[in-house]
Each structure stands twice: as C-alpha cells, then as structure tokens.
C-alpha cells in the first residue's frame, strides 16, 4: 500500500480556481499578473495568494459557488482515484488551491479523496473577506506529505507525489516516487517519470508496481 499525493490545479484538474473566481470579480488581469510574478520568483507563493485573495474580497457567495461549480477533474482522474483506493492506497490531495473547489470537483466525478489538505477563502456576511487561510500558504508540501505519512504509518519510500509546478517541487523531492504531470521546466529534473494524461499516469503506476496491470 502507498500514500498517493496529488496536486490539484494543473494536475488532477486543469481548472485554475483563482482565475475562475477572478473572472467573476472582474479582476482576472490583475490576478494573472500576480500569478506570473510568483512563477518568476518575484513574489513568494504566500504573498501572491494573499494579494490575489485581497482582490477577490467582496465577491458574494452566489458568485463564489458558481465559480467552484466550474472546477472539474481531468478526464480519467476520477477512475484512477477509484482504482487506487480499490487496491488499498490512501489518496490525498495537497493543494494551495481551495477546499471547496476540490470537494466540488471530486463530488461531480462521484469520488472522494481520503485526505484533502487545502486552503480556504473565509466569508463574512455572505461575501469573501479578502483574506486567505490554511496549511499550504506558509506551509510547504514536503512537510504536509511527511506529516500525513507519519500520521498514517507510511515510510516516505511508500509515498508517491504527482504535481506540475514550483510549489510541488518540495513534495516531489522527498516522495518515494515523483511523477510530473506536464511539469514546468524547473520541476522536470526531480521527476522519476513525466506524463501528460491520467491514462499514462496509470501506466507509470503499473510499471512501478503501485497498481496492478489492467487486463
């Protein structure tokens, strides 16, 4: 049995939650600019998330719910999660994205993750407060993966991490098996395998003995 940790935005899903929210708040360009600065290491991830959350302040619950309703899993992701769980693996989602969007997308696909470690956008009076909170703002995914593995009794050698971006690097570096899902250039060197579809990911997991080969 293994602990399988997925990133969400850009990996399990090709939706970008902050973009979907920003479009409804009329601040898509500003949010995109902040995201690009973070990717170029001009801003820390935490700083970029706090700034983006601030821009979303005042967005009402109805618009927030509608944005999260648009979040979807990639083709084949739900089936792969089911296969992993059927073979006894613990499936976790470790994301700097938002809990509500992750839960909504999984529910639409008819699956559940065993553990979700994600951030939140607090609301007050039916509107976003402009703040962000959660374990993966200041915290990093290597610590989150190690803590979860320890809690569940897995050695780090029994962990698999799947991600694409710079904030996935820490968990990819410490996982027993690191898989890049169309990874950014800086991420590719630490990956044991690189895939571009959930089908290929399934094949890689079969090749490493994590999943039984499908007949």
Return the structure tokens found at 202: 């399934």
Angle separating helix axes 45-56 and 28-39, nearest 10 degrees: 180
- The answer to whether residue 192 is catalytic is no
Contacts 24+ apart (CB under 8 A), 33-36: none
- How far is it, in rounded angstroms, from Cα 80 to Cα 82? 5
The DSSP code for 188 is G
- The answer to whether residue 9 is catalytic is yes
CA distances from 41 to 14, 15, 34, 166, 187 (A): 22, 22, 11, 9, 14
Active-site residue numbers?
7, 9
């Amino acid at each position: 049995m293994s602990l399988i940790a997925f990133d969400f935005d850009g990996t399990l899903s090709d939706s970008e939650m902050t973009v979907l929210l920003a479009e409804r708040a009329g601040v898509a360009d500003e949010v995109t600019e902040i995201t690009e600065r973070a990717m170029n290491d001009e801003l820390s991830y935490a700083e970029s998330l706090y700034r983006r959350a601030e821009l979303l302040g005042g967005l009402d619950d109805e618009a927030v719910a509608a944005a999260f309703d648009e979040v979807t899993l990639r083709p084949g992701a739900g089936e792969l999660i089911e296969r992993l769980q059927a073979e006894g693996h613990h499936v976790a989602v470790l994301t700097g994205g938002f809990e509500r969007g992750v839960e909504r997308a999984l529910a639409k696909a008819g699956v559940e993750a065993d553990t979700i470690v994600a951030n939140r956008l607090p609301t007050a009076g039916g509107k976003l407060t402009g703040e962000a909170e959660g374990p993966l703002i200041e915290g990093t995914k290597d610590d989150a993966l190690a803590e979860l593995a320890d809690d569940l009794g897995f050695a780090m050698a029994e962990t698999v991490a799947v991600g694409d971006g710079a904030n996935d690097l820490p968990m990819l570096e410490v996982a027993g098996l690191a898989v890049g899902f169309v990874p950014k250039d800086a991420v590719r060197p630490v990956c044991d395998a690189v895939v571009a579809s959930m089908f290929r990911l399934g094949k890689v997991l079969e090749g490493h003995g994590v999943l039984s080969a499908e007949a």
